[in-house]
Structures are given as structure tokens and as C-alpha cells.
Amino acid sequence: MIAFPRTALAQELVAALQGKAVLGDAHNGLFLAAPRRTGKSTFLQGDLRPALQAAGVVVVYVDLWADARRDPGGLIAEAIARALEPQLGLVARTAKKAGVDKVKVGGLEVDTRKIGTVDGLTLTDALRLLHERAGKPVALIIDEAQHALTSEAGEAAMTALKSARDQLNQPGVVNLMLVMSGSDRDKLLRLVNTAGAPFYGSQVQRMPPLGPDFIAHVAALIEAQRPELKPLDQNLLHRAFETFGFRPQFFMAALGQVLSPLAALTERFEPALLEAAKHQQAQDETQMESEYLGLKPTEQAVLWRLLAQGPRFRPYDAEALRFYRDKTGHPVSVAQAQKALEALRQRMPALVWKSARGEYAVEDAAMHRWFEARMAARDWPPSPPQGMLPLEDE
């Protein structure tokens, strides 16, 4: 399916970024959080980028998850450099080909060998240059921005971006727009909510999931192909979509299955879709449970503490150590807790995330929902199935 366009949301955000919204301070940076696979990247690239371009803005997009092995700071610099290259125009490119190292562009000396790396140029200089050469405001969209916090170079890049924003923007004039998205609100919050955070004072907003208009669009597509199914039960479709965690990919795949002639349904397909959604949800939970049960007792205790404490998690304070001892039934030293945390980070896929400043979070925020639901149902911790022996710490 072609992505469902989200034009209205894009327009709203463009106005906010330009400082035209009555409320809010998106012109100081827009921070958008939504769970994985709910359509953030699709929206940022497919809706927001063209809407900004149409409003006369040069857009630089970078996804810090595109290549997890690359340093986030380098990825950001490179994306800016790539946007800069065509703007430097003939002069710089000719000079580069001719082997001339330095050219003057807009009062700045640019090392042409380093175009594409920005080393020679600070991020602020590069963004200023891009803005001046293009004669337009610049929007920098950083997808999965929380990843920048996992390295010092990434953190430094964030601080540099804030300073670039402060230098390029004046009251009423927005020359640099910053959009940062993230799959985990708690992690994204670390960019804005501590006194030393690069964007202290900004708010993280929830990016709205696809809604009833998306469901109506899908329903219309189905009705056009299968008129005999009219009218579709859109409420039930929406409930199924919600149960799929607002993830369009799973929803569309399940739709394809229940609508397939091979499904040989004798009843309406909508309830079967909802069943499929519940089944998927149960499967996701079973997966998390079996991962949890596959951990050593100290790892389980550390993860449990992290799930229970969220952003307040302190891995080695006296209370945490007492907690680990209670749960494992034996004393746990700081070194052992450290080793367990490290093991949780090194797993594939990783269960724990760590920032360059030593803050921890669960890698996948869906785990929090799972934990909360099981706590509410008084069904925590997961217990091994009968006959399966619990693992031992070595």
C-alpha cells in the first residue's frame, strides 16, 4: 500500500516550526515521541519533509538508527555536509576537482577536501553556510535522536545544534528549525529535562498515531475492491488497529490474510481481524516473557528494578542492592550488578540502553507496558513453565 498521506498534521507542524502557532515553542525545537513502527519515519520523510520544502525550507534528514555502528555525531555532520555540497556550487566543486584545497565561500574558508565530513567546519558554521547559500531557512530532522546520547560525539553534536539555533534564530525570525523524533519518550526526555540537557526547557510531544482517517482510507480501498463487503465495520477495524499497537504494517498484513480467498471465512472478516490482533499481542508478550525467563537471576533482578523505577533507576544505590538481594536470595555486589547490566546491554537484541552519562533505560519501551499490565494483574514476575529449571548465576 502507498503510505496514507498525513497532510494536515504536516501543515500544522510546519506552521509551529515557523513560529506561527499561537501556543507552544516548536520554533525552539520540536520533539516528537511515538512507539516503534507507528509511522514516524514515514511521516517525517514522506509528509513533513515535502511540506517544509513547499514552504521554502531546505530540509536535512538523518536517521540515527540507519546505521547503529556509526557514531551519531558523525552521521549528523555528514547529512549537513551532503546538503551543503550542492549549495557550495560550482566554485567549490571545481576547486575540489582541480585539487585546490581551500575556497572562500560567503566569508568562510571551506576546506574542499573535507566537504562530506564537515570536520573543517563546525556544525554551526556549516548550518549557517547552508542557510546563507540557499537563502532559505534550514530544517534539520533527526530521526531516533535519543541515539545521539549514547556517545560523547553525539552529545556534543546536540549541544552544538542548540548553540547553532541560538545563533541563527532571532525573535520572530526562524532560520534553523530542529525536529527530533524518538521511539521512547523517556529517552527523548533526557534531551530536554535535566539542567545540563542540551535542550533544557523544551517539551516532548507525543506524535499522534494514525487515526480514524487512516482507517476510513483503508476501508474505502477494500470497499472499492470488494463491493460485496460494504459497509465495513470501521469501529471494529479501528479497535483491531489499536490492538496492533497502531502499527500499520501488522494491521495491513493481517488484513491481507483475513481477506484472502484462502482464509475461507464464513463470517464477516472484521472479528477475525480483531482476533488476529489479539493473537499478535499475546505473541509479543510471550516473546518478552521468554526473554525475561532466559536471563540469569541477577540480570532479572536488575531488569525488574529498571522496569519498576523507570527514569528514577539508580543501579548501584543501597536500595537497589537490597532489592537485588531480596529478589535473588543472595547478596549482589556493585560489580555483579554492573556485570548484569552490561550483559543486558550486550544481548542481541539489547534489552538495556545506556547514555554517555551513565543513565539507563529499557531498550524497548513496550516492555514497560508489559510490566505495568502484569503488575496490575498481579502476575509478576513471570515464572518458568513447569519442568523448566531456573537458571543460576555463575
Considering the rule CB under 6 A, would residue 280 count as an interface residue with ligand ADP?
A: no
Closest residue to Mg ion in the complex (CB): 41
Instruction: Indicate the residue among 40 and 147 with the shorter CB distance to Mg ion.
Output: 40
Instruction: Indicate the residue among 65 and 380 with the shorter CB distance to ligand ADP.
Output: 65
Considering the rule CB under 6 A, would residue 36 count as an interface residue with ligand ADP?
A: yes
Scanning 34-42, 225-233, 284-292, 310-318 for contacts with ligand ADP by CB under 6 A, the matching segment is 34-42
Cα dihedral 104, 106, 111, 114 in deg (nearest 10) = -150
Grid coordinates standing for 55?
514552504
Among 28, 30, 40, 175, binds ligand ADP (CB under 6 A): 40
CA angle 85, 90, 93 (to 5 degrees): 55
Strands 108-111 and 138-143: unpaired
Considering the rule CB under 6 A, would residue 49 count as an interface residue with ligand ADP?
A: no
Q: Which residues fall within 8 angstroms of residue 312, CB to CB, at 6 or more apart?
A: none
Q: How far apart are CA 258 and CA 281, in angstroms?
A: 17
Q: How far apart are CA 60 and CA 78, in angstroms?
A: 10
Give the burial string for 83-102 (b: 16+ CB within 10 Å, else e): bbbebbeeebeebbeeeeee
Q: Strand, helix or coil at 61?
A: strand
Give the DSSP H/E element, type plus range, for residue 32. strand 30-33
- Provide the greatest CA pair distance for the chain: 74
Q: Binding pattern to ligand ADP, positions 249-268, x when CB under 6 A?
A: x-------------------
Considering the rule CB under 6 A, would residue 18 count as an interface residue with ligand ADP?
A: no
Scanning 16-24, 31-39, 115-123, 186-194 for contacts with ligand ADP by CB under 6 A, the matching segment is 31-39
Among Mg ion, ligand ADP, none, the one that 38 touches (CB under a kind-dependent 5 to 8 A) is ligand ADP
Scanning 3-11, 158-166, 319-327, 386-394 for contacts with ligand ADP by CB under 6 A, the matching segment is 3-11
> Helices in the chain by DSSP H: which ranges?
7-17, 40-43, 49-54, 72-98, 123-134, 152-168, 185-189, 212-225, 234-243, 248-259, 269-293, 297-309, 318-328, 334-346, 366-376
Chain residues in the site for Mg ion (CB under 5 A)? 40-41
Considering the rule CB under 6 A, would residue 7 count as an interface residue with ligand ADP?
A: no
Among 28, 38, 202, 328, binds ligand ADP (CB under 6 A): 38
DSSP letter at 48? I
Considering the rule CB under 6 A, would residue 114 count as an interface residue with ligand ADP?
A: no
Scanning 2-10, 167-175, 284-292, 368-376 for contacts with ligand ADP by CB under 6 A, the matching segment is 2-10
Instruction: Indicate the residue among 6 and 27 with the shorter CB distance to ligand ADP.
Output: 6
Among ligand ADP, Mg ion, none, the one that 42 touches (CB under a kind-dependent 5 to 8 A) is ligand ADP
Q: Which residues bind ligand ADP (CB under 6 A)?
A: 1, 3-4, 6, 34, 36-42, 210, 248-249
